[in-house]
C-alpha cells in the first residue's frame, strides 16, 4: 500500500524525477545528469523507464482511440471533425462504411452531427479518423446526452477493465460510450436515467484521487436511488 | 537619512506575504492566481489550439501570445480600460520571459494564448503576472523545460531590497527620486535570466548584489509555485 502511495507523487515541470540510470519516457527529458518532468503529472517508474502521466491539459490524440467529435465542415474529400485536440481531425470519404456519393455527403454526416469515431492515424499536425469497425460500434449519435469531462480522468470513469462503467450502466439502465477525448455519450429509455448517469460520472470525476472510489460510487448510487 | 528600515517593517531580503492557487478559471485549459502582498495577478491559458488566420501559423513551432491587462479598478485612480502603450510593452517582455522554457517545437501550427489580468496593483505587477502565467502554463499541460519565477529588486538610496512596494518605488531622498526598480525573471533549474529591466540608476558594481538578491527571492517564490501546483488534484 505504501508503495502505491509513492507512485502517486505529483511532479511539476522542471522537477528532477530520476537520475541517469533510467531512460526518459513520455513527458520527460534529460537535463545534464538528471531526468526531469516536462508536465504537471504523476511519475511512473518501471524497471528502466521513467514516465509522467499528465493530470491536466487538452486531449492528445493517440492511435486507436475511440473519440466523440463534432462535424465542422464538409469537403469533397471527407469531413472535418473537431475532437477537442490541438489539431483538427479529418474523416476521409473512403473511411466511411458503404458507398457515399459526394452530393449525398451532407445526408450521411451533416455539419453539427456528433460521431463516435476512431483515430487510425496521427501525423505531425494532423489526425485521421475512421468509421469502419467490425462490430459496428462507430456511428452517428442520434439521441441521448453528452457529458464532458477532463480527458485525463477518463481512465477512472472506465475503471479496471470497464468495472466502473459497467456499474453505472447497470445502476441506471443506460448505454454509455466513453470517448477518450473526454466526451461521454449516455443514452437511455428515460431522460431521468440519463441525468442520473451524468450525476454519477460527475461524482467520479470530482473524486478521482479518493481511496476506495468504487465503494464511494456504490454509496452515491444508493443515495441517489433512496432520494427517488 | 539613508534607507535602513523598510516602510512596512520587512527585512531587506524578505518578501511580501505570498500565496498562489491553480485552477481558478473553470473554462480555461489552465489558470492560476498569484498574490504578492497587495498585488494580485490572475492568469488564464487557452490552448494549444489551431492558430487562425492560417498565414500566422508557424509550421516549425507553436506560437505563444501573451496579453497583459490591468483592470480599471486595480489602482487608486481608475485607469482607462483596454490596451495601452505600457500594457503592450509588458505583454511583449512577458512573452519573451516565458518563451525560452515552453517547448513550442513540439506543437507546430498551434497557438497558446496567455491572458494575464491584474486585479490589484501595488508594484511588481509584471513579476506577479509572470509567476501566475508560469503556473497556468504548467496547469494547462504545456510541455515546459523548467519553471519561471520573477521578482522586483529595488535600490533605495544605497540599500538593496527585495520585492518592492509602490511606496518604495516612489522613495525620495532630499527631494529627489532615489529608488531604482529592477524586475528579474529567473528559471528554476539553470538559473538563467529571461527578464531583466532597470528603471532608475544603478552603479555597475551593485549589479552582482542585485542578481544575488534576485536569485534568493526567485528560489523562495519557486517553492511557493511548486507547493501550489502539487496541491492540485
Q: Any idea how long chain B is? A: 233
Same fold, A2-54 and A66-130: yes
Strand extents, DSSP E, chain A = 10-11, 16-19, 23-24, 28-31, 34-37, 41-46, 49-54, 66-74, 78-82, 89-92, 114-122, 127-130, 145-148, 174-178, 183-188
The answer to whether residue B104 sits within a structural domain is yes
Q: Any idea how long chain A is? A: 228
The answer to whether residue B7 sits within a structural domain is no
Q: Is B147 on the interface with A (CB under 8 A)?
A: yes
The bridge status of strand A23-24 relative to strand A49-54 is parallel
The mean pLDDT value for A63-90 works out to 94
Which class for A85: exposed (0-12), middle (13-18), buried (19 or more C-beta within 10 A)? buried
Which grid coordinates belong to B47?
A: 490552448
Q: For chain A, which residues make up each domain, given as ranges? A: 2-54, 66-130, 145-227
The bridge status of strand A127-130 relative to strand A89-92 is parallel
- For B212-225, the pLDDT digits (tens) are 999 999 999 999 99
Nearest CA in chain B to A89: B50
Which grid coordinates belong to A148?
A: 464532458
For residue A109, give the 3-state DSSP assignment.
coil
The bridge status of strand A34-37 relative to strand A28-31 is antiparallel
Pick the more confident residue, B151 or B174: B151
Contact A58 B108 (CB under 8 A): no
Q: Percentage of residues in chain B with pLDDT exceeding 70?
A: 100
Q: Please report which confidence band the pLDDT of residue A77 belongs to, taking 50, 70 and 90 as the band edges.
A: very high
Which of the residue ranges A5-19, B164-178, B182-196 would you say has the lowest mean pLDDT?
A5-19
Nearest to A58 among B48, B144, B146 (CB): B48
- Record: fold of A145-227: Ribosomal Protein S8; Chain: A, domain 1 (3.30.1370)
Is residue A1 predicted with pLDDT exceeding 80?
no
Q: Please report which confidence band the pLDDT of residue B190 belongs to, taking 50, 70 and 90 as the band edges.
A: very high
Is residue A6 predicted with pLDDT exceeding 60?
no
Residue A2 pLDDT: 41
Nearest to A12 among B48, B49, B138 (CB): B138
- For B81-134, the pLDDT digits (tens) are 999 999 999 999 999 999 999 999 999 999 999 999 999 999 999 999 999 999
Contact A125 B59 (CB under 8 A): yes
d(CA A223, CA B15): 49
Is residue A5 predicted with pLDDT exceeding 50?
no
Nearest to B139 among A15, A56, A88 (CB): A56
Residue A208 pLDDT: 81
Average pLDDT over all residues of chain B: 94
A66-130 — its CATH code?
A: 2.40.50.140
Q: Please report which confidence band the pLDDT of residue B1 belongs to, taking 50, 70 and 90 as the band edges.
A: low
Domain that holds residue B139: 18-230
d(CA A165, CA B168): 59
Query: What CATH number is associated with residue B97?
Result: 3.30.230.70
Q: Please report which confidence band the pLDDT of residue B73 belongs to, taking 50, 70 and 90 as the band edges.
A: very high
Residue A82 DSSP class:
E
The answer to whether residue B62 sits within a structural domain is yes
Is residue A66 predicted with pLDDT exceeding 90?
yes
Is residue A47 predicted with pLDDT exceeding 90?
no
The answer to whether residue B8 sits within a structural domain is no
**A·B CB contacts under 8 A:** 84
Q: How far is A222 from chain B (nearest CA, A)?
A: 26
CB A141 within 8 A of CB A184: no
Interface predicted TM-score of the whole assembly (ipTM), two decimals: 0.87
Within a 10 A sphere around the Cβ of B21, how many other Cβ atoms?
17
Contact A14 B229 (CB under 8 A): no
Beta bridge partners of A23: A49
Q: Please report which confidence band the pLDDT of residue A20 belongs to, taking 50, 70 and 90 as the band edges.
A: confident
Residue A58 pLDDT: 92
For residue A172, give the 3-state DSSP assignment.
helix
Domain tally, chain B: 1
Is residue A69 predicted with pLDDT exceeding 70?
yes
Contact B229 A31 (CB under 8 A): no
Nearest to A39 among B48, B108, B141 (CB): B141
Q: Percentage of residues in chain A with pLDDT exceeding 70?
A: 96
Residue A148 pLDDT: 93
Edge-first strand order for the sheet with A174-178 is A145-148, A183-188, A174-178
Contact A13 B107 (CB under 8 A): no
B127 closest CA partner among B66, B185, B170? B185
Q: How far is A228 from chain B (nearest CA, A)?
A: 31
d(CA A130, CA A196): 31
Please report the DSSP string for chain B in residue order.
----S-TT---TTPPPPEEEEE---TTSSEEEEEEETTEEEEEEEEEEEE-SSGGG--SSS-EEEEEEEE-TTSSSSPPPPS--HHHHHHHHHHHHHHTTTB-GGGSTTEEEEEEEEEEE-SS-HHHHHHHHHHHHHHHTT--BSS-EEEEEEEEETTEEEES--HHHHT-EETTEE-EEEEEEEEESSS--EEEE--BS---GGGHHHHHHHHHHHHHHHHHHHHHHHHT--
Q: Which CATH class is domain A2-54?
A: mainly beta
Contact A87 B50 (CB under 8 A): yes
Amino acid at each position: 500500500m505504501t508503495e502505491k502511495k509513492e507512485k502517486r507523487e505529483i511532479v511539476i515541470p522542471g522537477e528532477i524525477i530520476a537520475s541517469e540510470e533510467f531512460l526518459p519516457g513520455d513527458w520527460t527529458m534529460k537535463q545534464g545528469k538528471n531526468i526531469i518532468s516536462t508536465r504537471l503529472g504523476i511519475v511512473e517508474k518501471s524497471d528502466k523507464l521513467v514516465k509522467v502521466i499528465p493530470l491536466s491539459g487538452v486531449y492528445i490524440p493517440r492511435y486507436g482511440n475511440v473519440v466523440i467529435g463534432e462535424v465542422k465542415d464538409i469537403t469533397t474529400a471527407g469531413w472535418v471533425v473537431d475532437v477537442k485536440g490541438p489539431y483538427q481531425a479529418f474523416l476521409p470519404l473512403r473511411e466511411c462504411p458503404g458507398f457515399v456519393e459526394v452530393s449525398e455527403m451532407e445526408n450521411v454526416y451533416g455539419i453539427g452531427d456528433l460521431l463516435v469515431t476512431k483515430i487510425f492515424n496521427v501525423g505531425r499536425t494532423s489526425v485521421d479518423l475512421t468509421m469502419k469497425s467490425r462490430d459496428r460500434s462507430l456511428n452517428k449519435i442520434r439521441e441521448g446526452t453528452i457529458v464532458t469531462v477532463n480527458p485525463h480522468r477518463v481512465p477512472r470513469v472506465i475503471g479496471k477493465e470497464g468495472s466502473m462503467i459497467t456499474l453505472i450502466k447497470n445502476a441506471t439502465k443506460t448505454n454509455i460510450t466513453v470517448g477518450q477525448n473526454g466526451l461521454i455519450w449516455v443514452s437511455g429509455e428515460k431522460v431521468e436515467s440519463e441525468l442520473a448517469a451524468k450525476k454519477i460520472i460527475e461524482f467520479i470525476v470530482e473524486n478521482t484521487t479518493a481511496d476506495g472510489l468504487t465503494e464511494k460510487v456504490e454509496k452515491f448510487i444508493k443515495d441517489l436511488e433512496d432520494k427517488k | 537619512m539613508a534607507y535602513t528600515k523598510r516602510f512596512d517593517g520587512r527585512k531587506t531580503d524578505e518578501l511580501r506575504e505570498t500565496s498562489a492557487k491553480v485552477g481558478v478559471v473553470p473554462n480555461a485549459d489552465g489558470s492560476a492566481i498569484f498574490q504578492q502582498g497587495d498585488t494580485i495577478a490572475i492568469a488564464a491559458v487557452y490552448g494549444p489550439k489551431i492558430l487562425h488566420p492560417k498565414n500566422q501559423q508557424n509550421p516549425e513551432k507553436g506560437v505563444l501570445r501573451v496579453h497583459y491587462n490591468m483592470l480599471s479598478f486595480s489602482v487608486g485612480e481608475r485607469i482607462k480600460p483596454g490596451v495601452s502603450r505600457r500594457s503592450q510593452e509588458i505583454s511583449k517582455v512577458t512573452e519573451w520571459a516565458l518563451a525560452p522554457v515552453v517547448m513550442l517545437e513540439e506543437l507546430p501550427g498551434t497557438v497558446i494564448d496567455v491572458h494575464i489580468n491584474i486585479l490589484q496593483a501595488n508594484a511588481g505587477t509584471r513579476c506577479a503576472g509572470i509567476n501566475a502565467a508560469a503556473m497556468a502554463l504548467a496547469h494547462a499541460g504545456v510541455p515546459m523545460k523548467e519553471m519561471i519565477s520573477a521578482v522586483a529588486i529595488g535600490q533605495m538610496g544605497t540599500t538593496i531590497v527585495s520585492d518592492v512596494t509602490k511606496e518604495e518605488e516612489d522613495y525620495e531622498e532630499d527631494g529627489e527620486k532615489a529608488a531604482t526598480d529592477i524586475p528579474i525573471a529567473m528559471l528554476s533549474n539553470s538559473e538563467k535570466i529571461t527578464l531583466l529591466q532597470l528603471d532608475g540608476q544603478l552603479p555597475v558594481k551593485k549589479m552582482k548584489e542585485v542578481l544575488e538578491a534576485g536569485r534568493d527571492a526567485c528560489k523562495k517564490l519557486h517553492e511557493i509555485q511548486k507547493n501550489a501546483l502539487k496541491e492540485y488534484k
